[in-house]
Structure 1
Amino acid sequence: MNPKATRWAKSVAMVATILAVSSCDVLPRSGPTKREIYAGSVQREGDAFVIAVNDRVTRATAVIPALGFSDSFRNAGAVAADVIRPGDTLSLTIWENVDEGLLASEGVNFTSLDSVQVDGAGFIFVPYAGRIRAAGNSPEAIRRIITEKLQDQTPDPQVEVRREAGDGATVTLIGAIAGTGVYPIERPTLRLSGMLAAAGGVAVAPESAQITVIRGNQRSTIWFQDLFDDPRYDIALRNGDRILIEEDTRSFTVLGATGAQSVIDFESQTLSGIEAIAQAGGLQANAADPTGVFVFRNEAEEVAAQVLGRNDLIGAQRMVYVLDLTQPNGMFMARDFLIRDGDLLYVTEAPFTQWDKTIAALTGSLGSVNALSTLAGQ
């Protein structure tokens, strides 16, 4: 082959390779560049607001999930533990001050009546005393009633009444708890904390556990930790309450030049931008652009209006918050900015990374061109 033609072919191939490689579209990368994200902003006729995070933004977006028992739950007084209800079970022991009594067997001066259940109307039946109203009374009141009924038939009767766990006053515990089941409301379990302890405690990390109490058609949810931080949340239980223990289901997505690219669960009630970066394994030292940390979010209308200082917004808005970790207060901004459920945390690659990829691709491409040229000249 003509040497001039060979050199000309090599030159054409080299120029073509440089032009192809210099185009960003042919280089592998983890996502859009910082320039491309800004190009999609509303300010440049895009459909998302790109906002630099500052103190005003952190205050406007500091929306924490509102959990807490309603007033009707918190203000309910404790139910008396010894009040008998329909479905409860009683045990009775009756002593008679005679050798041959009404109820006692021969040679024994007492009799035991076990598992006497209070019927749906609230009554129990005691031989020789008849049908007695039990529901609404305490064991002591029932003892006095039975004593009065029997004392005209046997001298100086002595009566003991004990309330056992029954079907009347119970709550149901389900979900992430050590012992799911139906539990009676007794003196140690009048309140929520005592009932949870009786069931063996929660079976998930306390930091991410949520407690929902369902009472009739009402329901309220709190964080497990709040139960012990605020005594008002240790509410009195009611018959038929259902207690559901769940693990926090909030999560955020991480993409770009970070240590991990995945969906990550929240590990605490609140999560800051700097904590989210740390959970993702930090920024890749050889690839990440610390000036290009973005948080993508669909922001509620009222919050977006505060952030943008506008009153003409309609509905949720697409917002892209920018964290520049190289600024003097950049780390503080990232620490104060709260991540929310469903957020996308994206870290762009540094310009040097793209340049390095270009050089690497160019070097490899030129080597291939030279090899082809060598083969063509043989």
Structure 2
Amino acid sequence: MLLLLTGCNSLPDSGPTEAQVNHAQRNPQKNTIGYGIVQVTPELVSLLAGEAPPALSSLDTNNAPTTRTNNDTVGPGDVLQIAIYEIGSALFSPSSAAMTASSASGTNTQPSPSTAASLPLLSVDGSGDVDVPFAGLIHVTGMTTDQLAETIQARLKKKSQSPQVLVRIASDIANSVMVYGGVQRPSRIPLTPNRERILDVIALAGGEERPSGDERQPQTDEDYVVRLIRNGRIAEMPLKAIENDPAQNILMQPGDRVQLTFQPRTFTVFGASEHVTQMHFRTPTLTMAEAISRVGGPVDARADPNAVYLFRFENTDVLRRLGLPVDANAPTSPVVYQLDMMNPSNYFLAQKFFMQDRDLIYIANSSSNKFYKFFGLISTIIAPGITAAWIAK
């Protein structure tokens, strides 16, 4: 009997049994990362279903601008187009001298028409100043185009007859956002007084760039992650989550940086299943029941159906609500969820337990598997001898 047990323990195996998993979790020398084992229950499924991913709207709530921006102000780096209309003796018209001479000689009896002059494009320097001929140096940061036009006009009134000024931002740098990554046209997107939102600027950049790949692995909006960088703070969400929740389609602010990244979601399966593999979700959502069925489920000959484990780095807030010890400074902590597939009611729970990217499913080996494996090995060894003896007889 001792030889039999020794032989069973020396056989290779694909992974631990339920008893070995539980023992390793309680052993501090083996459980060096401090994971806990949690049974899949209706309460757990409800708790996980109520958890929302980090929201982009948090950047608006906790870091709202002190003043509402209408995206129509001038700032450093902008290029301005200024047009000046004058009557009579004009400062900026090339024909003003000829008109003055003609008027003095009396040859021109018609009233002087208005003249228009477009100044060369003027750039706003890093200090927010622009130098306008005959108007001098003007600090323009924070001004609207109408306010800047009024300022220039006021400075020209003593030098020109009834000047009228129009200002347009030819190249808007101050009121713009950068959109890059997995979009068709990475570029700087100027913001307008219409106040674009994050989905608007992604669309203006051409939308997500669909990489050519395996047709069996279709790309969905859930496989794209939107990262927003604002004033040194970062938030990211799946593109689909923003599309489904209007509150996350937040207004853009000048200086925002938006990155779109293609991150195909996968899960991995180990242990006593038909296939040990890594698989893509291929659908917008995936439940634990669907994931297990895709790999053929537990193998009858060697699996322990009441010990199906899901390994995950879970949000620490969730684990804290489950009563597990967590590191307060860590955003995520390891946890193992156990599903007992011998309980028929748990099949309903498996249909509501949603998989996350990089989840790992392990189907434990049955404790009796080693005995049957050892018995099969002995049968393989002695079967040829029995057959030869029967033939010789």
With the length of structure 2 as denominator, give the TM-score of the two structures.
0.69
Instruction: Give 3-state SS (helix, strand or coil) of 1:56's partner.
Output: helix
Partner of 2:208: 202
* Aligned residue in 1 for 2:167: 161
Structure 2 CA distance for partners of 1:53 and 1:188, relative to 1, 3 Å: same
* Cα pair distance change 1:95/1:272, threshold 3 Å: same
Counterpart residue type for residue 282 of structure 1: G
Secondary structure at 1:258's aligned position in 2?
coil
Distance in 2 of aligned mates of 1:50 and 1:82: 56
Q: 1:194 to 1:165 in 2, by over 3 A?
A: farther
1:293 partner SS: strand
Q: In the alignment, is the contact (CA less than 8 A) between 1:213 and 1:244 conserved in 2?
A: yes
Q: What are the superposed Cα offsets for residues 254-281 of structure 1, whole Å, 9 maximum, x if unpaired?
A: 1023343234566788754224324x52
Q: Percent identity?
A: 26
Q: Which of residues 74, 88, 94 is equivalent to 2:78?
A: 88
Residue in 2 aligned with 1:124?
130
SS in 1 for 2:199: helix
- Is residue 31 from structure 1 mapped to residue 15 from structure 2 by the alignment? yes
Deviation of 1:371 after TM superposition, in Å, equals 7.9
Give the letter for the 1:331 counterpart: Y
Contact 1:22 1:358 in 2 (8 A): no
Q: Relative to 1, partners in 2 of residues 1:56 and 1:109: Cα closer, same or farther, differing over 3 Å?
A: closer
Kept after mapping to 2: 8 A contact 1:209/1:247 = yes
1:175 alignment partner in structure 2: 181
- Residues 81, 339 of structure 1: CA spacing in aligned structure 2 closer, same or farther, 3 A cutoff? closer
Verify the 8 A CA contact 1:188 1:194 in the aligned structure 2. no
Match of 2:55 in 1: 68
**SS of 2:70's equivalent?**
coil
1:244 maps to 2:231? no
Contact 1:78 1:190 (C-alpha < 8 Å) held by counterparts: no
Which residue of the partner structure matches residue 360 of structure 2? 344
Is 1:105 the counterpart of 2:94? The answer is: yes
Contact 1:207–1:267 (CA under 8 A) maintained in structure 2: no
Cα distance change of structure 1 residues 221 and 52 upon mapping to structure 2, 3 Å threshold = closer
Q: Which runs of 5+ in 2 are unaligned?
A: 99-113, 211-219
Q: Deviations over 1:189-220 (max 9, x none)?
A: 64322222222223464213332322223233
Deviation string 1:227-251 (CA, Å, 9 cap, x unpaired) is 3333332333333322233345875
Instruction: Tell me the residue number matched to 2:297.
Output: 283
Aligned amino acid, residue 200 of structure 2: G
Say whether the 8 Å CA contact 1:124–1:132 is kept in structure 2.
yes
Bigger mean CA deviation after superposition, 242-251 or 218-227: 242-251
Equivalent in the alignment of 2:237: 222
Q: Structure 1 pair 174/24, CA: closer, same or farther in 2 (3 Å)? A: farther
**Paired residues of 1:289 and 1:350 also in contact (CA < 8 A):** yes
Report if the CA contact (8 A) 2:307-2:364 is conserved: yes
Q: Deviations over 1:349-371 (max 9, x none)?
A: 56897677556544432244458
Does the Cα contact within 8 Å between 1:208 and 1:268 map onto a contact in 2? no
SS of residue in 2 equivalent to 1:84: coil
User: What is the CA–CA distance in structure 2 between the aligned matches of 1:237 and 1:299, rounded to whole Å?
Assistant: 30
SS in 2 for 1:109: strand
- Aligned alpha-carbon RMSD (Å): 4.4
**Retained in 1: the 8 A contact 2:226–2:236?**
yes
Residues in 1 aligned to 2:342 and 2:225: alpha-carbon distance in whole angstroms: 37
Whole-Å separation in 2 of the counterparts to 1:169 and 1:237: 10
Distance in 2 (alpha carbons) for counterparts of 1:218 and 1:302: 20
Residue in structure 1 matched with residue 111 of structure 2 by the alignment: none
Matching of residues 251-330 of structure 1 within 5 Å? 252-264=267-279, 272-278=287-293, 280-283=294-297, 287=301, 288-296=303-311, 320-330=336-346
Q: State how far apart, in whole Å, the 1-side matches of 2:315 and 2:249 are.
A: 33
Q: Distance in 1 between matches of 2:86 and 2:314?
A: 77
Give 1:256's aligned amino acid: G
Contact preservation (8 Å) 2:59, 2:230: no
Cα distance in 1 for partners of 2:310, 2:353 equals 10
Deviation at 1:91, TM superposition (A): 0.7
- Give the letter for the 2:55 counterpart: G
SS in 2 for 1:67: coil
After TM superposition, give the deviation of residue 329 of structure 1 in Å: 0.9
CA deviation map 1:164-198 (0-9, x unaligned): 22433333333333333433333456432222222
Cα distance in 2 for partners of 1:57, 1:228 equals 27
| Structure 1 residues not aligned, in runs of 5+ | 1-14
Pairwise CA distance, 1:90: 0.9
Label 1:95 to 1:300 Cα distance change in 2 as closer, same or farther (>3 A): closer
| TM-score normalized with structure 1 length | 0.71
Residues of 1 paired with 2:326 and 2:124: CA distance? 60
- 1:55 — aligned with what? 42
CA contact (8 A) 1:170 1:239 kept: yes
Pick closer, same or farther for the CA change 1:58–1:168 going to 2, 3 Å: closer
